[in-house]
């Protein structure tokens, strides 16, 4: 999940400074103080890209490892992806993905891909009815937050996905829980279940040269064969796409680790850069950010 992945997120920026401490340096990349205006009652506000204007972009680095049956690393790779917001429309956003990978020290560039991502998570060219359920209270950090509840069912051929979303339009991070299940209509069996929930609010995170306040999400995806993927993510509404960091691991039905990955935000902007650099070229700034991320001692999910 490049979680821009699958969660909408939000959390206000905060500036914390000890008395007498030197002033923090001015960020090289401006923070999004006024993202694109959005109807507070619409799904656009809750989408991690829907609050921004076309031209906003992020650059993320992902390190992946895969394991054999004995738990030994058999392959390792690094991928950088630049995601650019092309359009913001009534039913969704259009994103462009540019990806490069390092394999045995050689850079391999994939062809750019353009994808339309709908606010409800379904197919944009289909009308998806949304039903409203009674509000519920969700407890986070000892605080009870009243959430509206929406449900949708999306059918695509033999597959039907049911999504239930718990959100608050005025309290960050807006999306507090999401549950979805995909079933095979022909076989009448569940293929996968996904749960996204907020575990903590106002967690300090370093983004390039600034400290921000983020929400901490736990995402659990269970496959019919018994495989389970767990992701811990830090999300902020002031970052296009929302994602600051993701730590993921996947285990098989016996609990043996199959793969793990760490995604780190390395750069972002609210407008197209004046001087565009290719992927894997801004190595000094990216390396500094990864060192800072390691110092936070964020562990892979248990």
Residues 194-244 have pLDDT tens digits of: 999 999 999 998 887 888 889 999 999 999 999 999 999 999 988 999 999
Asked if residue 37 belongs to a domain, the reply is: no
Asked if residue 22 belongs to a domain, the reply is: no
Count of beta carbons in the 10 Å neighbourhood of residue 193: 16
Asked if residue 89 belongs to a domain, the reply is: yes
- Residue % of the chain over a pLDDT of 90: 54
**Whole domain around residue 162: which residue ranges?**
43-295
pLDDT in tens, 96-150: 999 999 876 778 889 999 999 888 766 565 667 889 999 999 999 889 999 999 9
The domain tally of the chain equals 1
Asked if residue 12 belongs to a domain, the reply is: no
pLDDT of residue 288: 44
pLDDT of residue 215: 95
Mean pLDDT confidence for 157-168:
93
- Residue % of the chain over a pLDDT of 70: 74
Buried b (16+ CB within 10 A) or exposed e, 12-50: ebeeeeeeeeeeeeeeeeeebeebbebeeeebbbbbbbb
pLDDT of residue 201: 94
- What is the rounded distance in angstroms from the CA atom of residue 60 to the CA atom of residue 50? 19
pLDDT in tens, 180-193: 999 999 999 999 99
Asked if residue 59 belongs to a domain, the reply is: yes
Asked if residue 211 belongs to a domain, the reply is: yes
Asked if residue 34 belongs to a domain, the reply is: no
């Amino acid at each position: 999940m490049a979680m821009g992945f699958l969660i909408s997120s939000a959390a206000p920026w905060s500036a914390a400074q000890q008395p007498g401490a030197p002033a923090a340096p001015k960020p090289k990349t401006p923070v999004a103080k006024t993202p694109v205006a959005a109807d507070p009652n619409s799904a656009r506000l809750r989408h991690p890209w829907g609050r921004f204007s076309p031209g906003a972009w992020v650059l993320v680095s992902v390190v992946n490892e895969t394991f054999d049956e004995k738990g030994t690393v058999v392959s390792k790779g690094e991928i950088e992806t630049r995601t650019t917001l092309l359009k913001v429309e009534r039913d969704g956003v259009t994103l462009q993905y540019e990806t490069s990978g390092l394999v045995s020290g050689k850079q391999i560039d994939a062809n750019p891909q353009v994808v339309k991502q709908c606010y409800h998570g379904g197919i944009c060219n289909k009308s998806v009815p949304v039903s409203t359920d009674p509000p519920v209270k969700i407890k986070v950090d000892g605080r009870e937050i009243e959430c509206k509840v929406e449900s949708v069912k999306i059918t695509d051929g033999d597959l039907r996905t049911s999504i239930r979303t718990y959100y608050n339009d005025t309290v960050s991070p807006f999306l507090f829980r999401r549950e979805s299940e995909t079933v095979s209509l022909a076989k009448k069996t569940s293929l996968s279940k996904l749960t996204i929930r907020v575990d903590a609010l106002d967690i300090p995170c370093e983004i390039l040269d600034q400290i921000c306040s983020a929400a901490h999400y736990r995402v659990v995806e269970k496959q019919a064969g018994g495989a389970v993927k767990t992701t811990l993510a830090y999300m902020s509404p002031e970052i296009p796409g929302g994602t600051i960091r993701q730590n993921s691991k996947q285990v098989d039905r016996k609990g043996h680790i199959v793969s793990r990955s760490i995604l780190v935000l390395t750069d972002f902007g609210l407008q197209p850069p004046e001087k565009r650099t290719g992927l894997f070229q801004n190595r000094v700034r990216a390396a500094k950010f990864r060192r800072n991320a390691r110092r936070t001692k964020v562990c892979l999910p248990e």
